[in-house]
Amino acid sequence: MMDDLQNDSEPAVPLEATEGAEDTEDASPISPADPAQGRLYLVATPIGNLEDITLRALRILKEVDQIACEDTRHTQKLLRHYDLHKSLISYHEHNEITRAPELVIAMESGAKIALVSDAGMPLVSDPGYRLVTLCVRHHIPVVPIPGPSALLTALSASGLPNQEFLFVGFLPNRSGERRRALERLRIEDRTIIFYEAPHRVAETVTEARQILGDRNACLAREVTKLHEEFRRGRLSEIAASLAERPARGEITLLIAPEDHAGAGSQTGTSQSIAARVEELMHQAKLDRKEALKVAAKERGLTRRAAYGQLIAAIDESPPGDESTTKPEN
């Protein structure tokens, strides 16, 4: 029965083969004598509670020749907890350009390598894409080992619509770029999920309220850890909560789709649709077609109706007015 469940297309390595192995942090990629084909395992690790790791993940970490990780010190804590002794090598955003080819060469020589991030699933707002694409190009098997994910864990307990969602990851650090990114999300009618740093989250919540409207939201903090917390409510309520009690630790911010009843509430109807389109094009750097979609959604109009209003406004504009240009249909 156990053999049927282990479908990694390779025999299990005896436990005694790994006992007594020395920890070698940030060692060079190894080239084992085993001529069998190498492979890359993408192993999900706990996002907080060390018990949140699968039996399969533990087996793979025990069997591989080497573990590539963001921070060898962080991964070493997990390995010590489960009494695993493995050679570790750093793989992060600052060295992946050179490290990825080195690991591929090792796997072409037969090495079995596990890639882990500090927490959660590798490649989800973490490095690893370059290594995976190189493996695919060189016909090296890539085997995902699923497990904890901060965004899915937070979504499940958020109380927000979860039939469809959009994972954005981290927004830009600078306020201007962040506001432009949020402007582009106005037309989203799915729950939006962000990762955010604790020192920026209050500003992000405030800007999201200003741009997206006072939507329902959930701020998930330190999920699965000792101080796990979920703050639910309107963005205005979460902003007030953060002003009173700043959030610390790992944060996932979820924002629900706009209430249909409140559509258009964040933009005054006194502003013409043509003026709003121009404003979005200059402030949010949207092209005219995308700006028209946003303006139409704000007013609860179909794109065709909004286009008609825009054309009418352009036709009524004074001759020589360069601020309004007839768009392509």
**pLDDT tens per residue, range 147-170:** 999 999 999 999 999 999 999 999
Is the domain of 13 the same as that of 136? Answer: yes
pLDDT at 33: 42
pLDDT at 263: 44
Q: Rounded to whole angstroms, how far apart are CA atoms 189 and 204?
A: 19
Is the domain of 18 the same as that of 76? Answer: yes
Overall pTM > 0.85: no
Is the domain of 256 the same as that of 275? Answer: no
> Which class for 283: exposed (0-12), middle (13-18), buried (19 or more C-beta within 10 A)?
middle
Give the domain-ending residue among 239, 262, 285.
Answer: 262
CA atoms within 13 A on the CB side of 302: 3
Is the domain of 8 the same as that of 54? Answer: yes
Cα angle for residues 113, 114, 117 (degrees, 5° grid): 140
Which segments in the chain show pLDDT lower than 50?
A: 1-7, 9-22, 32-34, 261-268, 322-323
pLDDT at 189: 87
Is the domain of 168 the same as that of 31? Answer: no
Is the domain of 11 the same as that of 131? Answer: yes
pLDDT at 305: 79
CATH number at residue 38: 3.40.1010.10
H-only helix segments in the chain: 2-5, 55-63, 72-81, 96-108, 129-137, 150-158, 175-184, 201-212, 235-244, 273-283, 288-299, 303-316
pLDDT at 274: 81
Q: Rounded to whole angstroms, how far apart are CA atoms 182 and 209?
A: 10
pLDDT at 20: 43
Distance of CA 196 to the CA centre of its chain: 10
pLDDT at 21: 45
Is the domain of 217 the same as that of 272? Answer: no
Range of the domain at 317: 267-329
pLDDT at 22: 46
Give the domain-ending residue among 210, 227, 262.
Answer: 262
How many structural domains are present in the chain?
3
Is the domain of 187 the same as that of 290? Answer: no
- Count of beta carbons in the 10 Å neighbourhood of residue 281: 15
pLDDT at 163: 92
